[in-house]
Amino acid sequence: MTHKERPEGQILVIFGASGDLTKRKLIPSLFHLYRSNKLPKHFAVLGIGRSSYTNDEYRAYLTNELSTFGDIKDADQKAISSFINMFNYLVMDPSDMNEYPKLKVVLEELSTTNNINENYLYYLATPPALYKKIPLGLKEVGLNKDNGVKGKKRIIIEKPFGYNLKTAVSLNHTLMSAFKEDQIFRIDHYLGKETVLNVMALRFANGIFEPLWNRNYIDHIEITAVENIGIESRAGFYDEVGALRDMVQNHLIQLVAIAALEPPIKFDADNFRNEVVKVYNALRPLDKEDVLKNVVRGQYVASGMHESYREMKGVKKDSRTETYVAMKLFIDNWRWEGVPFYIRTGKQLPTKVSEIVVHFKQTPHMMFKGDKNERVYNKLIIRIQPNEGVLMRIAMKTPGSGYEVKDVSLDFTYDKLGGVPTGDAYARLIEDCMKGESTLFTRSDAVEASWKYFDTIIKEWEDNPMIPLYGYPAGTWGPLEADKLMNKGFTWTNPCKNLTNTDLYCEL
């Protein structure tokens, strides 16, 4: 199947159809696919929720939300109406097993009306508490059975994929009691970002990089994903989860895997995901001493106009939930032995940025002096957001007499491709789901391998209340203790506060 082929006719069933994820992400992404002619020719959406809507009321609600969260500035009203008319609504409690026969009847009616061969894609845009109940409810009425050409069934699960290793294993067991692995799509929007995918193209499509991509030439790698906002309306969820579960165990460790994996034999679902799992299995196991020495957690406190995390509505007044995590980890294999990977995430930091920074080793003998008599290190910066691009920091001689060198940039940003858009990550992944293309989705063994590694940290934090939770003022770069993770002579790469889409490199 080529990327340009449209998916076959199907019905998208959204559980949690009046929720935040649906209005903010799913509806705008579906509209993007609609305007790009990437939706199936025969297509319908069935929204499911407890809120009481008729079809017309739900469509009116979606029209209003699309105007708020969607890109409709140059869309005509006819296109918007045509898109919205694809949506239907069913009042249903997904936790009630007695409700699923009603769902089956409605889906069969929609299949007949829209000339769709009972191909159903279920999207669980619900609280994680329903991740087990919905698959079992679908199984109860036979809506899980993949009948090939007579009706394909697929299911999309949002993170978190479990709360720890035990719950992740339990969730996988439940999912796979109702669906086969190739029917299950564990979605993580980070893997749909164009720049994340470009890391592999950068490595494997350029002869200049891959020979250097190992312990012989790379000193260390930083991976950062931070935000300059707090938890907003997510207090109830976030205070039970924290930064480690929300970001590190999934987003950041996936970026580690993409930066570190071996070249797949070919770029398809099995081979790519096999290499990801190999990276997870090669992570050096942590013990109690490692958790104390190589993991720093923090929680933001009041500063200036910003209130503290504990003052947020819905947060426990004595909460020890971390809003910041930094850690040093190692991958014990031939390519990466001895190379530290530094990862960090946090809320209420100076700017919003996600990037991978590859620090190459110094030249064996430095003949030239750099600015301020400092030695120059080559850096490769892969910016994932906000201004997607790739930049290389190299040493060049400064004009004039003498032989002093200066750190300068060779850079590329996506806006230099003549206006070619970087795309919508959710739209890309939803389209892949519709086509049954699972390459960019997390497999069950990867989920469990990741949790196995991070469970040690979670257990130590739960069992040992003496492990510090460092406060850091909102608007700063996190606890100062995180700086001590770095090997001597290095500091974190901290981008400037006011990053714009035209500034790829800006460092404090």
Provide the CATH number for the domain around residue 71: 3.40.50.720
Give the C-alpha separation, 454 to 463, whole Å: 14
Tens digits of residue pLDDT in 408-446: 778 877 766 554 455 678 999 999 999 999 998 999 999
Supply the range of the domain harboring residue 37: 10-158
pLDDT beneath 50: ranges in the chain: 1-2, 373, 419-420
* In a domain? residue 477: yes
In a domain, 173, yes or no: no
Tell whether 174 is covered by a domain.
no
217 within some domain: yes
Sign, CA torsion 88/93/94/100: negative
pLDDT for 142 equals: 95
- pLDDT value at residue 503: 62
Please tell me the predicted confidence (pLDDT) of residue 1. 39
Q: In this predicted structure, what is the pLDDT of residue 2?
A: 44
Q: Do 264 and 274 meet the contact criterion of CB atoms below 8 Å apart?
A: yes
DSSP E strand boundaries for 302-388: 324-329, 341-346, 353-360, 369-370, 379-385
Q: Kindly state whether residues 106 and 52 are assigned to the same domain.
A: yes
pTM above 0.85, yes or no: yes
pLDDT, mean over the chain:
89
Looking at the fold, whether 130 and 274 belong to one and the same domain comes out as no
Contact between 71 and 84 under an 8 Å Cβ cutoff? The reply is no
Amino acid at 291: V
- Residue 258 belongs to a domain with what CATH number? 3.30.360.10
> Are 301 and 471 in contact, with CB atoms under 8 Å apart?
yes
123: which residues sit within 8 A by CB, 6+ positions away?
12, 13, 14, 15, 26, 156
Contact call for residues 247 and 345 (beta carbons, < 8 A): yes
362: nearest Cα among 335, 318, 394: 394
Give the DSSP letter of residue 287: -
132 plus 206 within the same structural domain? no
Catalytic residue among 32, 189, 220, 251: 251
The 3 state secondary structure assigned to 125-171 is CCCHHHCCHHHHHHHHCCCCCCCHHHCCEEEEEECCCCCCHHHHHHH
Hey, how many other C-beta atoms are within 10 angstroms of the C-beta on 76? Answer: 9
Its sign, for the CA torsion 266, 268, 274, 275, is positive
In the numeric block, which tokens belong to residue 161?
Answer: 């994929």
Predicted pLDDT of residue 419 = 47
Q: Are 302 and 478 in contact (CB under 8 A)?
A: no
Q: What is the pLDDT of residue 192?
A: 81
Count of the separate structural domains present in the chain:
2
Residue 42 is a catalytic residue: no
